Structure 1
Amino acid sequence: MAQDDHVAFNTIYNRYWVEVLNLAVHKIGDIMEAENIIQDIFVSLWKRRHSLIITNALENFLYVSVKYRVIKVLNRQRTERLYNETDGLTVDILDDSTQQYLSFEELRQRLEMLIGKLPEQSRLIYRMNKEENMSYKAIAEELNITERSVEAHLARAKKTLKTALGAFLTTFLL
């Protein structure tokens, strides 16, 4: 695809579009909005084909893309709903729920950054377990390693994240 191969892109599209569309519909509950999300993802994938570097499975990249696009859409819908509920009156955007969302978003970004700093194998295993809800056994079979190894990688990853997030939360909450 990086060499402008339309056939490669079409193959990727045909292989994954139904799967990621179903995920988006499940998360957002609106088929039209889900179709827009998936279309945007594939358009972005094509536009960024020369500079995009995908280190894990393409399927994982697409799932994460859907997840973040759904969050954006839900946030936009919430903002529109708040605006409509007030009939165009000015809304105090920094109400408590918005502040909580912003705090959560900062925490989520910090977690994502910390996950990105994990060793590649630990990062992959962590994402497979937490984002794809794969069992230790399924991960072990897919990566051709022992369940004990999966367990050890996850334990180290969780310890690293807990330590780093603990320090972040202490400074964040004070």
Structure 2
Amino acid sequence: MNSYGSLSDNELVDLLKEDQQQALSALYFRYWDKLLSVAGNRLDNPEIAEECVQDVFFSLWQRRNDLKLKYSLATYLAVAVKYQVIKQLDKQYRLQDRKDKSLYASQEVFHPSADEHLLEKELMDRIEVAVNRLPEKCRIVFKLSREQGMTNKQIAADLDIAEKTVEAHLSKAIKDLRNDLSSISPLILLWFFGNNY
């Protein structure tokens, strides 16, 4: 495991495609806590949050031979776990709706299509196109924040700019992306952009 743990995400993905289960284990240990934290922050039930993360890794293994990453693996996994959370929330809403039609009858709920993988791919493609349309500095700051998980302070130090400048770039990026992706369900955008949406 130690030798696998020292490999980059891209190297581990290549090994996944060669049916190396140890590569999946390395990714599992690398990202489990972070993904569980994302799911746990949005779901009241720790067991369901764990189930969401397990589903993401199960899907990653199942799709290993067809996996084509346009983003970093970290971004792919973050979007995938948020998608699983949305599915769980939708399921909870529908169960509650059956119990009390009048309470949730007018509430807009995201309903995954029959082919969830196509929906996920379409969402990620649309987000990628929108991110690539951002001005260069906004795009760099946004990717460091959302894909690398860096804090504003870390980004400022890395790019040798003021934290206020980082905040300004992030605000502009989020505003531009929100406008560009306005046709996507607000619930999906909320999970992707976090509290800044």
TM bucket normalised to smaller: 0.5 to 0.7
Q: Greater Rg, structure 1 or structure 2?
A: 1
Q: Does 1:137 align with 2:153?
A: yes
Amino acid at match of 1:96: S
Out of 5, 18, 24, the residue aligned to residue 33 of structure 2 is 18
Matched ranges for 1:83-102 at <5 A = 83-85=98-100, 95-98=105-108, 101=109
* Higher mean C-alpha deviation, range 156-165 or range 63-72: 156-165
8 A Cα contact 1:136 1:147, kept in partner: no
Deviations 1:31-74 (A, max 9, x none): 22112111111110001112212233322322222211111101
Out of 125, 136, 142, the residue aligned to residue 141 of structure 2 is 125
TM-score, length of structure 2 as denominator length: 0.58
Percent identity among equivalent residues?
A: 31
Change (3 A) 1:14 1:65: same
Question: What is residue 38 of structure 1 aligned with on the other side?
Answer: 53
Unaligned runs of 5+ in 2: 1-15, 111-119, 184-197
C-alpha separation between the residues in 1 aligned to 2:75 and 2:67? 14
Q: Does 1:78 align with 2:93?
A: yes
| Deviation of 1:24 (Å) | 1.6
C-alpha separation between the residues in 2 aligned to 1:165 and 1:34? 27
**What is the aligned length?**
153
RMSD (CA atoms): 3.9
TM-score, length of structure 1 as denominator length: 0.64
C-alpha separation between the residues in 2 aligned to 1:29 and 1:77? 11
Unaligned runs of 5+ in 1: 103-108, 169-174
Out of 75, 97, 115, the residue aligned to residue 60 of structure 1 is 75
Change (3 A) 1:78 1:165: closer
Deviations 1:75-126 (A, max 9, x none): 110110110235xxxx798x4322xx46xxxxxx999765321328655632
| Deviation of 1:6 (Å) | 1.3
Amino acid at match of 1:25: G
| Deviation of 1:26 (Å) | 2.4
